[in-house]
Amino acid sequence: MSEQLIPHRGNYKQLLSYQKTNVIFCMTYYFVEHYIQKGDRTYDQMLQAARSGKQNIIEGTAASSTSAKTEIKLVNVAKASLQELLEDYEDYLKTRGLRQWEEDSAELTAMRDLGRKHNDAEFFMALTETRPPETIANMCIVLIKQADYLLYKQLQRLSDDFMKEGGFTERMYRLRSQNRSNHQ
**Residue 1 domain-assigned?**
no
User: Taking all residues of the chain, what is their mean pLDDT, rounded to a whole number?
Assistant: 89
pTM higher than 0.75, yes or no? yes
**Residue 74 domain-assigned?**
yes
Residues 9-38 have pLDDT tens digits of 668 899 999 999 999 999 999 999 999 999
Given a contact cutoff of 8 angstroms between Cβ atoms, the answer to whether 178 and 123 are in contact is no
Given a contact cutoff of 8 angstroms between Cβ atoms, the answer to whether 134 and 101 are in contact is no
- Looking at the predicted structure, is the pLDDT value of residue 90 above 90? yes
Please report, rounded to a whole number, the percentage of residues in the chain having pLDDT higher than 70: 83
C-alpha distances out from residue 85 to 103, 139, 141, 169, Å: 19, 13, 9, 36
Average pLDDT over residues 175-180: 63
- Looking at the predicted structure, is the pLDDT value of residue 166 above 70? no
**Residue 4 domain-assigned?**
no
Helix ranges (H only) for the chain are 16-35, 41-63, 68-95, 106-117, 121-128, 133-165, 168-182
- Looking at the predicted structure, is the pLDDT value of residue 41 above 70? yes
**Residue 6 domain-assigned?**
no
The b/e string for 36-49 (b: 16+ C-beta within 10 A; e otherwise) is beeeeeebebbbeb
How far is it, in rounded angstroms, from Cα 77 to Cα 58?
12
Domain count, the chain: 1
**Residue 167 domain-assigned?**
yes
Range of the domain at 76: 12-182
Give residue 50's pLDDT band: very low, low, confident or very high (50, 70, 90).
very high
**Residue 69 domain-assigned?**
yes
**Residue 7 domain-assigned?**
no
How far is it, in rounded angstroms, from Cα 116 to Cα 109?
11
**Residue 2 domain-assigned?**
no
